[in-house]
Amino acid sequence: MVDITHKTNTLRQATAQAIVKVSKQETIDAIINKAVPKGDVFEMAKTAGLFAVKRTSDMIPDCHPLPIEYTAVRFEIKKLEVYIEMEVKTIYKTGVEVEAMYGVSVVALTMYDMLKPIDKGIEISTIKLLEKKGGKSGHKTEAHNLKAAVIVVSDSVAAQKAEDKSGKLIIEKLEKQLFANIAYEIVADDITAIQTKVKQFCDAGIDLIITTGGTGLSPRDVTPEAIGELLDREIPGIMETSRAYGQARTPYAMLSRGVAGFKGNTLILTLPGSTNGVRESLDALLPQLLHVFKVKEGLRH
């Protein structure tokens, strides 16, 4: 199965459709009047569909087992066709499109099985996904016209005794969100040096500044102090989300002292210095973090 351990739990939902077409009005009448010999067609088919949704991962090899937290089946009769809709919801790391499509398929097959003794001309068609919501694609916000800067805080990198990997990873992640012309600077672990560079970027109209390094427990780790003194408004939820995401993957995430907030119109994040810490933090925060710029723009107007 595909690795989804880097994903976050979010509300995900999907609606799928199938159409069962019968060959005569008498069949429709039998369904409506509950006169089909095998029983109540809609209730039996609905029950089968509910079972199917919950067992999808047993049938489809690459489907992950997941908690099904809501399922609904709807029927609509149009002349000789019965339109079936299956809606599925979960709060998990992956979507439920296949669950909805598998469930609606089983509903249709169950109807076929129950109706075939009284109608030999039944067809099943148009099994398709009608809608999906949730996940990162459901919170897609692209960084058109937003300016970003990355500041690597490291004595060893500044002295050219070590190679920067974390800052370059941040740039790679931001480019995927369509940030362009991302500024890149390296400074030593020094409060004045960090603050000077941040102020320069803020004065230049940068929308997003991300630092990497200096968030640990060493006496040289001063980035949170440097940035904290500059912030006009802290947004605790950003780093809470990042730490919670990291904590689920490594117990050491709780030791990060990162902060986040606005200085003027510039959002500033302080990420750890390790590449894993950076990767996990941005996996937790992007792209939904970019919604803050839409909110800010709305408040401005």
- Domain locations along the chain: 10-137, 140-300
Please report how the helices 236-247 and 275-285 are oriented relative to each other, as an axis angle in degrees rounded to 10: 120
The better pLDDT of the pair 21, 180 is held by 21
Q: How far apart are CA 158 and CA 240, in angstroms?
A: 29
46-87, pLDDT tens digit by residue? 999 999 999 999 999 999 999 999 999 999 999 999 999 999
User: Does residue 139 carry a pLDDT above 80?
Assistant: no
Q: Is 270 in a helix, a strand, or coil?
A: strand
What are 180-191's pLDDT values in tens digits? 889 999 999 999
Task: Give dist(CA 142, CA 149) in Å, integer.
Answer: 16
Residues linked to residue 73 through DSSP beta bridges, in sequence order: 86
With DSSP H G I counted as helix, E B as strand and the rest as coil, what are the percentages for the chain, rounded to 5? 40, 25, 35
Q: Report pLDDT for 253.
A: 87
The pLDDT value given to residue 250: 87
Tokens found for residue 278: 């950076």
Average pLDDT, stretch 117-131?
97
Read off the amino acid at residue 256: S
Model pLDDT, residue 7: 86
CA-CA distances (angstroms) from residue 208 to 183, 261, 264?
10, 10, 11
The pLDDT score that the predictor gives to residue 8 is: 84
Q: What is the mean pLDDT of residues 193-213?
A: 97
% of the chain beyond a pLDDT of 70: 95
Average pLDDT over residues 122-131: 97
Task: Collect all residues with Cβ–Cβ distance below 8 Å to 284 and sequence separation of at least 6.
Answer: 8, 241, 242, 244, 245, 246
The two counts, helices (H) then strands (E), for the chain are 11, 10
Catalytic residue list: 113
Judged against a pLDDT cut of 80, whether residue 144 lies above it is answered with no
**Residue 188: how many other CB atoms lie within 10 Å:** 16
Encode pLDDT of 240-274 as tens digits: 999 999 998 888 888 889 999 999 999 999 999 99
Percent of the chain topping pLDDT 90: 83
- Give CATH superfamily name and number for 140-300: MoaB/Mog-like domain (3.40.980.10)
What does the alpha-carbon distance between residue 299 and residue 113 come to, in Å, rounded to a whole number?
57
Q: What's the average model confidence in pLDDT over 182-206?
A: 97
Architecture label for domain 10-137 = 2-Layer Sandwich (3.30)
41-54 vs 97-115: helix crossing angle, rounded to 10? 150
When pLDDT is averaged across residues 126-153 and rounded to a whole number, the result is 82
- Please give the Cα distance from 5 to 7 (Å, whole number): 5
Residue 301 pLDDT exceeds 60:
no
30 pLDDT exceeds 50? yes
**Distance set, CA 156 to CA 163, 213, 220, 285 (Å):** 8, 11, 12, 28
Mean pLDDT for the chain overall = 93
0.95 cut: is pTM over it?
no
Average pLDDT value for residue range 136-160 = 82
Closest CA to 75 of 44, 96, 52: 44
How much is the pLDDT for 231? 97
**pLDDT tens by residue, 217-232:** 999 999 999 999 999 9
**pLDDT value of position 128:** 97
pLDDT of 3 > 70? The answer is: yes
